[in-house]
Chain A
Amino acid sequence: MSPNFNDLLAGVKREIDEIAPREVQAGLAGPRNFALLDVREKDEWDQGHIDGALFLPRGFLEVKVEKLLQDKDQPVVVYCAGGVRSAFAAKSLRELGYRNVRSMAGGVRDWKDLGLPLVVPETVDKDRMARYSRHLLIPEVGEEGQLKLFKSKVLLVGAGGLGSPAALYLAASGVGTLGLVDDDVVDESNLQRQILHWTSSIGTPKTDSGRRTLFEVNPDVKVRTHNLRLNASNVEEVFASYDVIVSGSDNFQTAYLVNDAAVLLDKPVAYGSIFRFEGQASTFIPHRGPCYRCLYAAATPPELAPSCAEAGVLGVLPGTIGMIQATEAIKLLLGIGEPLAGRLLVYDALEQSFREFKIRRDPECRTCGENARIELADGPDAMCATG
């Protein structure tokens, strides 16, 4: 007669070694020489697991364990809810060549009965899982990264050509709070490139129009509107609560003010600017890389800067540059990849070329140099407004 489940379990338990929860706890308190493996399902893990455990559900154990635990001489303790699944898991691990495997007797049930602690991980709740599933699949983002994005705050200076695509994608990505700074109203001539604003928004403040569109893109995102022009007396207050600044204003005065305030408040800046077919982008991380003023010590004076209203701009150009800024912002928030710090990226739409230049900190920079003393100041009026 073939054995039933109880016979099978009894047989497995005879083959494997068990360890009591108290002993596991003592082992975790000292210098740890064993790996602790939780073989339950995701929802069980999310409800609470032992701190320091690795998560590998029983169903994937044999398939994935050799990648997770490469040293087969390292002792392994396996646990589940009550000690049954972990017993079978321990047997499998032994068969895979792990030399020192024990199953925690009584599992999480006995662990809890002893009053021992569990940690409850923060998770992306179920109704939001689907929206961000393609992020959750990337190891560099994953659940932890997505939760970071939820908690992040990004300020977009300028809800125009550059700010539009950046805001749309940052909202779609699930950045928790987006701030929009702009004192302009939507004009028909904006619509050729400022895709945050639609025909029905002509005449309304860009901040209101932007908030409306972003809500349609992703209602999870909190949008804060700053319907004002940044100046020396309001910039610190506006910047204070944000993690990253996306600098996409349409004038030098604001670009320098953003730079100086960002250095003063130690906020990284994803910078971009555009002219006809050409765009420039860089990431300025205060005191760790050059700032905007290290790169350009002074603004192009009005007599040499062609009026932007005359100069024009290719409608799709700010899309390309704004997306580079948004990408930089996401990378900074997640702490992944190589930021565009110390590098100036120049895009030529006609050549369809990207060129990269090395830029360095200027020791004599008025904003971040050795003897810098930042005094926020309002410069002369904007000299180049593409609007």
Chain B
Amino acid sequence: MSVNVKIPTPLRSLTAGRGEVAVEAATVEEALRKLDAEFSGLAERIFDENGEVRRFINVFVNEDNIKDRDHLATAIRTGDTISILPSIAGG
């Protein structure tokens, strides 16, 4: 399945400034791992030492939080958008 992954501003330094990257994957985890293969360093920012999404990051498939679906195993379909949203603190 081809999906678009939206890269948040704080992580764009790792994607050469790109805000959106297309990957082929069947689950959210696969999509994020493939992204890391292309842009090294991303996985480390997203996953903790147990391979879970870090607590200061939320990952959404379209408008749904993967925490409310099957977490990293959430299946994705062609045309879905995965969004990575880290907490930010500027005010």
Contacts and interface: CB of A to CB of B under 8 A. Distances in A.
Interface of A: 158, 160-163, 248-252, 255, 272-278, 280, 295-301, 304-306, 308, 311, 313, 318, 344, 346, 348, 350-351, 355-360, 362, 383-384, 386
Contacts of B85: 280, 344, 346, 357
Contact of B56 (A163, A298, A357): A298
B10 A306 contact: yes
Contact of B89 (A276, A350, A384): A384
A288 B66 CA distance: 21
A386 B88 CA distance: 11
Q: Which among B8, B45, B55, B88 has the greatest number of chain A C-beta atoms within 10 A? A: B88
Given A278-B9, A298-B56, A300-B86, A162 B91 contact: yes
B88 A278 contact: yes
Interface in B2-46: 6, 8-10, 13, 19, 45
B49 to A, nearest CB: 13
B11 to A, nearest CB: 10
Nearest to B91: A250
Interface string B38-73: 000000010000000011101010011101100000
B45 A304 contact: yes
A280 B91 contact: no
Could you tell me the dominant secondary structure of chain B's interface residues? Answer: mixed
Contacts of A275: 9-10, 88-90
B76 to A, nearest CB: 16
A277 B19 CA distance: 11
B19 A350 contact: yes
Contact of A297 (B19, B55, B83, B88): B55
Given A296-B58, A357-B83, A358-B63, A250 B89 contact: yes
B89 A252 contact: yes
Contacts of B60: 357
Given A251-B91, A304-B45, 17 more contacts: A160-B91, A272-B91, A276-B9, A278-B88, A280-B85, A295-B58, A299-B87, A300-B86, A305-B89, A348-B19, A355-B6, A357-B58, A357-B85, A358-B63, A360-B65, A360-B67, A386-B90
Contacts of A308: 89-90
A231 B15 CA distance: 38
Contacts of A359: 58, 65
B26 to A, nearest CB: 22
5 contacts: A158-B91, A272-B91, A296-B55, A311-B90, A357-B65
* A-B CB proximity, top 5 nearest: A298-B55, A275-B88, A250-B91, A296-B87, A297-B55
A386 B56 CA distance: 19
A350 B19 CA distance: 10
Contact of B90 (A295, A301, A350, A384): A384
A299 B89 CA distance: 9
Contact of B83 (A163, A248, A355): A355
